[in-house]
Chains A and B, each alone.
Chain A
């Protein structure tokens, strides 16, 4: 396995933390190899920022990512900038309320910022996205990601963040279930 993942969004959305959690989950919990390259500087005051995570089951010789296998976009500007680089067979994951896709390419969408607001704090959008990402891609295991979330968030907010993770995970399960049903031609209840 060799997966190159780019996560983009506004500075402050927790894009880098999301990347760090994924890499850590893979390296420490799942016993894989991982690297993280984060953008820093003025981005953390707003504007497009990104985290590049590589996860592999063997040594990683080059941490930078030109063409990601998985592209996660939590803002329109990040999407506009990174979308052309995604591999042809790559998987695109977006926040459906913040990103308007330019074409008909198949993708996975979640309103993670809206969910985070419903849960009481929009800063948790990144954790919801991790839950969603984990279930959709399976690059890291659920247990690994969940444990790492618990260990990475500020003390006292663990339960809230785990709830956010589960929210994203459940939404992914529902999405996958819906796709299975649609593929089988069962779109509604009364066919």
Chain B
């Protein structure tokens, strides 16, 4: 019984007085409860609410002041929004939402508080241990590479110091003093552990433009990935974006006992089957929508539903993995190779057990990770991995379909994992041409676009914002009315720039994923 762990975030003001009264009365506060005193319940972000679960807590309580009694005005409102959204995510990933609760108390309500604590503890005892167990302290990294090995594996010595990378680098173009060449030469010179080198390695967007330009073909993104793994082994990772929520969530998903509840609320008119040769792998869009709901009104889940509808349209009833986990892309690219491997193995097992022959995905990161990274890291996936664009291009090519005309001038935003890493920049352009006829010619002839400003939820800063603003401004200057994207994260990042309080208005541009645009316009001719 004693080994249940409940974390109580306790607001300094109202509820703390009540809690202190209980302590003075030597009331029987359940021993499972570990209290953390905080300045205001509104300051506990979703990332902080989730973090205890990643670390093995069985329940989390957030106690704030009574609505209207918040010393800072909006604390309680923020707390209730954060709690509600985190609860939704807990439910989706298979941790019971009832493991997290918000309570609000006045200073003179100690008895009500005690009853609340007892009730919550009773519930946790009933729900049992969390499927996520505490991570073993400081696990040694599997087969860690030395700096020399990393440099020779990626042939960094081939760098000619020509500077083409820096002149093409999206970050450098946005004005940041960042240079791939500098990073390479510093690490070659044995100064990898200097803080500015480390910061630069974590600031890289890994968009791959430098690799395209490099005359010595040094695969800089792969090098950066290896360096991040190297730093991670030394617990020198930089602080990730969004308080590290997504990395936390992904690490929590490595728990084998956890059974996520994806796909439970699919609309009825989407047909999926229990067994099918084709498996649709969705990715994390559903989590993003909950997390960003308040700020961006992101609707990236729509991409998954539209993909499934398109498969149905072509008479394919795929199956989905009810316990689908994150593919691990962001963990790998933020340096956490050990947990990436755990996710990879669990997914590979689940996919192999499903009996599918082909995995179709609409996310360029899932596509790249399942198709390339798994096997590179020794996890074999016994199936063919296809991006939905490739499937659509094939089916549309067979003919007998037509598209409703799109009355907007469009511009296309490339996804780095598709257009650069997999060299498939022509694929979405071909679809644009098929869909828009001559109207799509202009969009299809645009060069591969700059990065959306971020990747793997790390290193977001003012320069990311500047890149996004520039991209949107240019699109608007060119008269574009609709930006077609290929990655849910591009949508989130570019929408974030549009949310700017001062410049948001002038940056507004309609945005839709390519798959969704096709789903809205295709019909049987």
Please report A residues at the B interface, Cβ cutoff 8 Å. Answer: 110-111, 170-171, 173-175, 177-179, 181-182, 186-191
Contact of B520 among A179, A186, A190 (CB under 8 A): A190
Docked pose: A190 CA to B312 CA in angstroms: 11
For the A-B complex, the count of residue pairs with Cβ-Cβ distances under 8 Å equals: 53
Q: How far is the CA of A173 from the CA of B398 in the complex (A)?
A: 8
Q: Which residues of A contact B388 (CB under 8 A)?
A: none
Q: When the two chains form the complex, which single residue of B400, B404, B521, B523 contacts A174, counting CB atoms closer than 8 Å?
A: B400
Instruction: Mark B510-525 against chain A: 1 for CB-CB distance below 8 A, else 0.
Output: 0000000011111111
Interface string of B383-400 (1 = CB under 8 A from A): 000000000000100111
- Chain A CB within 10 Å — which of B312, B313, B399, B523 has the most? B399
Q: Given A187-B524, A188-B522, A189-B522, A178–B310 Cβ distance below 8 Å?
A: no
Q: Which B residues are in CB contact (< 8 Å) with A175?
A: 399-400
Sampled A-B contacts (15; CB under 8 Å): A171-B400, A174-B395, A174-B399, A177-B524, A178-B401, A186-B313, A186-B524, A187-B524, A188-B404, A188-B521, A189-B520, A189-B522, A190-B309, A190-B520, A191-B269
What is the bound-complex CA distance between A8 and B284, given in angstroms?
56
The 9 closest A-B pairs by CB, nearest first: A178-B524, A174-B400, A174-B398, A189-B519, A188-B523, A175-B400, A171-B399, A170-B398, A178-B400
**A189 with B401: in contact, given A178-B524, A178-B525, A181-B524 (CB under 8 Å)?**
no
Nearest B residue to A189, CB-CB: B519
Q: Which residues of A contact B523 (CB under 8 A)?
A: 187-189
Kindly state the separation between the CA atoms of A174 and B394 in the bound complex, as whole angstroms.
Answer: 11
Indicate if the CB atoms of B399 and A189 lie closer than 8 Å: no
Interface secondary structure of B, over-half rule: mixed
CA distance A178 to B399 in the complex (A): 10
Known: A182-B524, A189-B519. 6 other contacts (CB 8 A): A173-B398, A186-B524, A187-B524, A188-B524, A189-B522, A190-B309
Give A181's nearest chain B residue, CB to CB. B524
Known: A178-B524, A178-B525. A189 touches B306 (CB 8 A): yes
B-to-A contact residues, CB < 8 Å: 269, 306, 309-310, 312-315, 395, 398-401, 404, 518-525
Per the bound structure, the CA–CA distance linking A110 and B400 in Å amounts to 9
Report B-chain residues with C-beta under 8 Å of the C-beta of A110: 399
A189: which of B309, B395, B398, B525 is its contact (CB, 8 Å)?
B309
Report the bound CA distance from A186 to B395 in whole Å: 17
Q: How far is the CB of B406 from chain A (nearest CB, A)?
A: 14
CB contacts (< 8 Å) of B400 on chain A: these are 171, 174-175, 177-178
Residue of A at shortest CB range from B520?
A190
Measured CA separation A170–B401 after assembly (Å):
13
Q: How far is the CA of A191 from the CA of B269 in the complex (A)?
A: 10
Q: Give the chain A neighbours of B521 by CB distance below 8 A.
A: 188
Whether A174 contacts B401 by the Cβ 8 Å rule is yes
Alpha-carbon separation in the docked complex, A175 to B398 (Å): 9
Complex interface: chain B residues within 8 A of A177 (CB) = 314-315, 400, 524
- Cα–Cα distance between A110 and B269 once the two chains are bound (Å): 31
The answer on a CB contact under 8 Å between A190 and B401 is: no
A133 CB to nearest B CB, Å = 15
Distance A187 CA – B525 CA, assembled complex (angstroms): 8
Residues on A with C-beta less than 8 A from B306 are 189-190
A173 to B394 Cα, complex, angstroms: 13
Contact B519 A190 (CB under 8 A): yes
Q: How far is the CA of A179 from the CA of B401 in the complex (A)?
A: 11
> In the complex, what's the smallest C-beta–C-beta distance from A106 to chain B, in angstroms?
14
Tell me, rounded to whole Å, the shortest Cβ–Cβ distance linking B154 to chain A.
41
Whether A171 and B398, one on each chain, are in contact in the complex, defined by CB atoms closer than 8 angstroms, is yes
Which of B306, B309, B519, B523 has its CB near the most chain A CB atoms (within 10 A)? B523
B240–chain A nearest beta-carbon distance, Å: 36
Kindly list chain B residues whose C-beta atoms are within 8 Å of the C-beta of A189. 306, 309-310, 312-313, 518-520, 522-523
**A182 vs B523: C-alpha distance when bound (angstroms):** 9
* B residues near A111, Cβ cutoff 8 Å: 399
Name, among B269, B306, B400, the residue most crowded by chain A CB atoms within 10 Å (CB to CB).
B400
Contacts of A186 in B (CB 8 A): 313, 524
CB closest chain-A residue, reference B315:
A177
B520 proximity list for chain A (CB < 8 A): 188-190
